């Protein structure tokens, strides 16, 4: 069974709804989740918030967080996940923000740095993905990591 199918079964069996807030993954998480027939029973929707302006306006990421920590940070994906749950009236959310490449990296945040958050109510689990394997591979790894994080959280009774 594919990870997106397993997530669908877990969400549906618990009566939970998922939302996504994606930056560097460009809607890839939502695309995989909705590739499963019947996903409308547990997927509310997703926002591709590529610019900081959209992160602030639609997901309510604070300008202070963006100024102090940057768009690619644990703090930002945490606020993105919370914002997605609120904006889309969902029980849980996945958020991604990173530097997919090939450019844009810095010494502190090299290309391939991607932050992922999975949220349920007030609980947030985050992960920092590192290592540059090229733009396409960086994005695909982030999508898979995000889905596995959500699945692990659902299985570990963190999201009952």
For the residues 92-109, what does the mean pLDDT come to?
94
Q: What is the pLDDT of residue 121?
A: 80
Task: Give buried/exposed letters for 54-78 (b at 16+ CB in 10 A, else e).
Answer: ebbebbebeeebbeebbbbbbbbbb
Cα gap 3→19, rounded to integer Å: 16
What confidence tier does 156 reach under pLDDT thresholds 50, 70, 90?
Answer: confident
- Say how many C-beta atoms besides its own lie within 10 A of residue 111's C-beta: 20
Closest CA to 24 of 132, 117, 101: 101
98: confidence class by pLDDT, cuts 50, 70, 90: very high
Share of the chain above pLDDT 90, in %: 91
Q: Which CATH number is correct for 3-155, 1.10.472.10, 3.30.930.10, 3.90.950.20, 3.40.1390.10?
A: 3.90.950.20
> Is the predicted pLDDT of residue 159 greater than 90, yes or no?
no
Its pTM surpasses 0.85: yes
pLDDT value at residue 160:
45
Report the chain's mean pLDDT, rounded to a whole number: 95
Residue pLDDT, tens place only, 126-149: 999 999 999 999 999 999 999 999
Contact assessment for residue 138 and residue 132, using Cβ atoms and an 8 Å cutoff: yes
Domain boundaries, the chain: 3-155
Instruction: Place 158 in a pLDDT band, splitting at 50, 70 and 90.
Output: low
pLDDT at 44 over 60: yes
Q: Quick one: average pLDDT of 77-92?
A: 97
- What is the average pLDDT across 21-33? 98
């Amino acid at each position: 069974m594919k990870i997106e199918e397993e997530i669908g079964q877990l969400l549906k069996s618990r009566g939970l709804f998922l939302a996504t807030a994606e930056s560097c993954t460009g809607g890839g998480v939502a695309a995989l989740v909705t590739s499963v027939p019947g996903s409308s029973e547990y997927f509310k929707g997703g926002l591709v918030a590529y610019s900081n302006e959209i992160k602030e306006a639609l997901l309510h990421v604070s300008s202070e967080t963006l100024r102090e920590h940057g768009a690619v940070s644990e703090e930002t994906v945490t606020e993105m996940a919370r914002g997605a749950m609120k904006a889309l009236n969902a029980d849980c959310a996945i958020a991604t923000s990173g530097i997919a490449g090939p450019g844009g990296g810095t010494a502190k945040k090299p290309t391939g740095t991607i932050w992922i958050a999975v949220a349920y109510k007030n609980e947030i689990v985050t992960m920092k993905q590192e290592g540059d394997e090229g733009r396409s591979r960086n994005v695909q790894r982030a999508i898979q990591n995000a889905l596995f994080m959500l699945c692990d959280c659902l299985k570990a009774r963190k999201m009952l």
